[in-house]
Amino acid sequence: MSDRVAIEREQAELAQRFGPWTAHNIRLAEGVYTISSEPSGDEVKLRRITQIVSDLFDGRIDGLRVLDLACLEGMYALELARRGAEVVAIEGREANLEKARYAARALGLDGIDWRLGDVRDLSREQHGEFDVVLCLGILYHLDAPDVFSLVGRMADVCRRALIVDTAIALSGSEQRAHDGHVYRGTTLFEHDPDSSKEERLKAAWSSLDNTIAWALTRPSLLSLLARSGFTSVYECWIPAEPGKTSGRITLVALRGRPQTEFVSPPPAEDPAAVPERPPVGARLPGTRLWRIGRLVVPPPLRRRVRALLGAETRRPR
């Protein structure tokens, strides 16, 4: 589809049928955008995700097998396919997928495997294995236990890197058990329980059917990733996303080779056990109360208080 007029005509037809584009601002041709020639929001995240993939693979995106889960209007799939990746993209809403397919035609990218489906059905048998799995903006739309199961399924199809961009629970007031471990998180609202199937489908960014979702806290999500087979997990700060709140993070989880032989004795801690809150002794030093205490409490008593609270007794190195 090289003709600009034809591109604009089809875009107008799609907008008429399914409503305007809601998030992914894609440049389809000279002067033709799905949303606007001005930045509309997600451009920053596209740069972050593309840079992470490039950095993880020495700048070579060409030839990578990439899975884009819940691809919405297809921007991430399109960007990586444009750079030579072999992309499979799953999306649960036909309206979103139609827009993504159209953008691919407009850009002349015919190699993307667009699949209408439910990410909860992800499997190696159906979808294969991937160098990169993108789990952007979908984890916190699933309820427990689906959220646990999806992380396991992603680990199963991922041979190198999982990128998770997600909302996290800032207070872990609720808990759920999975595979013998307890995780903390909070319930999020997705749909009015009285809403119809059609009304739920119309909410283009929401869950497909579940009326509530369950968001994990950061430590619980990290532990879940580790227990699902990811050997190390990193949080992305650069490229910066200035608009991101403290309740939203981008993680990179790697499936590496678990290292077992060391020159030191084995540590006592479980490498997957990320504490929900650091012990009080680790949080107190540096606070004003602690600094005043140093001035007024005699050293022997200070040592006893430190030992009782489990605070660091050695000088920082």
Fill in the DSSP letter of residue 284. Answer: S
Q: Which residues, in sequence order, are CB contacts of 198 under 8 Å at separation 6+?
A: none
Say if CB 73 and CB 98 are below 8 A apart. Answer: no
| Residue among 27 and 291 whose Cβ is closer to ligand SAM | 27
* Minimum separation from the CB atom of position 119 to ligand SAM (A): 4
| Residue among 202 and 302 whose Cβ is closer to ligand SAM | 202
Segment 201 to 230, residues that bind ligand SAM, using CB under 6 A: 205, 207-208
* Minimum separation from the CB atom of position 260 to ligand SAM (A): 36
User: With binding defined as CB under 6 A, does residue 77 bind ligand SAM?
Assistant: no
DSSP per residue, 102-142:
HHHHHHT----EEEE--GGG--HHHH--EEEEEEES-GGGS
Segment 87 to 126, residues that bind ligand SAM, using CB under 6 A: 90-93, 96, 118-120
The mark string for 3-22 relative to ligand SAM (x by CB under 6 A, - otherwise) is --------------------
User: With binding defined as CB under 6 A, does residue 70 bind ligand SAM?
Assistant: yes
The CA distances from residue 308 to 299, 302, 313, in Å, are 14, 10, 11
> Which H or E run contains 261?
none
Rounded CA-CA distance 285/186 in Å is 30
| Residue among 10 and 118 whose Cβ is closer to ligand SAM | 118
Q: Which residues, in sequence order, are CB contacts of 103 under 8 Å at separation 6+?
A: 24, 26, 28, 34, 73, 74, 75, 78
User: With binding defined as CB under 6 A, does residue 136 bind ligand SAM?
Assistant: yes
Paired tokens of 66? 């990439």
* Minimum separation from the CB atom of position 181 to ligand SAM (A): 24
| Residue among 23 and 109 whose Cβ is closer to ligand SAM | 23
Q: Which residues, in sequence order, are CB contacts of 263 under 8 Å at separation 6+?
A: none
| Residue among 117 and 285 whose Cβ is closer to ligand SAM | 117
User: Where do contacts with ligand SAM occur on this chain (CB under 6 A)?
Assistant: 23, 42, 70-72, 90-93, 96, 118-120, 136-138, 141, 205, 207-208
